[in-house]
């Protein structure tokens, strides 16, 4: 089962109440691939600038990612800079520099037209649409987006949503996109825009699945030490998609495997906030994944 992703590969400057890190490895596609892990062997479509470190590409390859769709262009890599509030949850974007993404024309290798699962990670929706058009018959299409694209490229976003099976957004994005405060109403509005299922991430409060026939609320794992939550949402997506691919679901499947995938996403995301950048994902071991899954299941038992 093949997974294809398009999204940012970036350098992030992150300020927390305790520390500031300059140009650390980030990007939605980066976190997604590392979280999905080697067995998933994600096919990546993206662009990096001439400042993108060879070591960082190697790190992704070592985790099983296929970078045949990653172009190197002359210019700067995508750079995002953000500052976290005292709660380590709320954050302000200080800068979004598209760099080489501004003129990116994605080329999906012909052999990837057969991709089964497509994750349209957070990036300009016109780029998401071009990549999706290059895949012949995906079993499942999942899309993530954010306030910047909802505000500035709403028409492009609305144009692609009818081809999306699962929308994965955080609570404020769901409200912004739908114009509804109630998350149940927001999910219903989003269903009307195309996606039959909606996953709403709520940071340290967990995530909700509005499925076709059921709703599931999953708490987040309780982490004693939060250092840098950047990338937790994309890592949720990586764990979620890898689980769906492993279970071989398609858009006609019932809610059950999607509910299972919510747990995998929650566990994958939990490795991110305890360290800066991708460090927590790199330290993840199969034993610790199993332990956290057991803790999560225990938290959900009445």
Residues interacting with ligand AMP, by CB under 6 A? 8, 10, 12, 26-28, 80, 96, 122-123, 146, 148, 230-234
Residue 140 and residue 2 in contact, taking contact as beta carbons nearer than 8 Å? no
Q: How far is the CB of 260 from ligand AMP (least distance, A)?
A: 21
- Provide, rounded to whole angstroms, the least separation between the CB of residue 78 and ligand AMP: 6
CB of 254 to ligand AMP, least distance (A): 28
Closer CB to ligand AMP, residue 80 or residue 119?
Answer: 80
**Between 28 and 218, whose beta carbon lies closer to ligand AMP?**
28
Beta strands (DSSP E) in 76-185 are 78-84, 91-97, 117-120, 140-144, 166-170
188 vs 226, which CB is nearer to ligand AMP?
A: 226
* DSSP result, 212-254: SS-EEEEPPPP-S--S--TTHHHHHHHHHHHHHHHHT--TTS-
Is residue 198 helix, strand or coil? strand
Going through 148-223 in order, the beta strands assigned E by DSSP cover 166-170, 197-201, 207-210, 215-218
- Closer residue to ligand AMP in complex, CB, 2/230: 230
90 or 250, CB closer to ligand AMP? 90
State the minimum distance, in angstroms, from the CB of residue 83 to ligand AMP: 13
Shorter beta-carbon distance to ligand AMP: residue 88 or 112: 88
Q: Which is nearer to ligand AMP, 65 or 122 (CB)?
A: 122
Tokens 């089962």 appear where?
Answer: 1
Query: Smallest gap, in angstroms, from Cβ of residue 114 to ligand AMP?
Result: 26
CA 215 vs CA 211, 218, 255, 260, 296: distances in Å: 6, 10, 9, 13, 17
Q: How far is the CB of 100 from ligand AMP (least distance, A)?
A: 13
What is the 8-class DSSP label of residue 77? P
Closest approach, Cβ 54 to ligand AMP, in A, equals 19
Closest separation between CB of residue 95 and ligand AMP, Å?
A: 10
Between strands 78-84 and 10-15, the pairing is parallel
How far is the C-alpha of 32 from the C-alpha of 82, rounded, in Å? 19
Nearer to ligand AMP, 125 or 138 (CB): 125
Q: What are phi and psi for residue 301, nearest 5 degrees?
A: -85, 130
What count of other Cβ atoms lies within 10 Å of the Cβ of residue 275? 16
């Amino acid at each position: 089962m093949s997974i294809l992703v398009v999204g940012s590969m970036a350098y992030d400057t992150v300020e927390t109440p305790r520390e500031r890190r300059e140009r650390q490895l980030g990007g939605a596609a980066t976190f997604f691939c590392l979280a999905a892990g080697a067995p998933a062997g994600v096919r990546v479509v993206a662009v990096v600038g001439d400042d993108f470190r060879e070591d960082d590409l190697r790190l992704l390859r070592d985790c099983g990612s296929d970078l045949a769709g990653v172009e190197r262009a002359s210019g700067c890599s995508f750079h995002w800079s953000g500052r976290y509030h005292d709660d380590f949850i709320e954050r302000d974007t200080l800068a979004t520099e598209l760099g080489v993404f501004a003129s990116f024309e994605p080329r999906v290798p012909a052999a990837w037209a057969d991709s089964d699962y497509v994750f349209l990670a957070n990036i300009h929706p016109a780029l998401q649409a071009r990549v999706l058009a290059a895949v012949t018959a995906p079993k499942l299409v999942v899309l993530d987006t954010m306030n910047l694209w909802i505000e500035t490229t709403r028409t492009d976003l609305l144009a692609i949503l009818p081809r999306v099976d699962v929308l994965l957004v955080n609570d404020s994005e769901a409200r912004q996109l739908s114009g509804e405060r109630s998350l149940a109403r927001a999910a219903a509005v989003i269903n009307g825009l195309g996606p039959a299922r909606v996953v709403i991430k709520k940071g340290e409060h967990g995530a909700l699945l509005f499925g076709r026939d059921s709703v599931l609320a999953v708490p987040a794992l309780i982490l004693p030490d939060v250092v840098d939550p950047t990338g937790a949402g994309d890592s949720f997506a990586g764990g979620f998609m890898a689980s769906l691919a492993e279970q071989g679901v398609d858009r006609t499947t019932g809610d059950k495997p999607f509910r299972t995938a919510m747990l995998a996403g929650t566990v994958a995301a939990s490795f991110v906030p305890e360290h800066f950048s991708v460090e927590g994902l790199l330290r993840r071991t199969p034993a610790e994944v199993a332990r956290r899954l057991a803790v999560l299941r225990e938290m959900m038992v009445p």
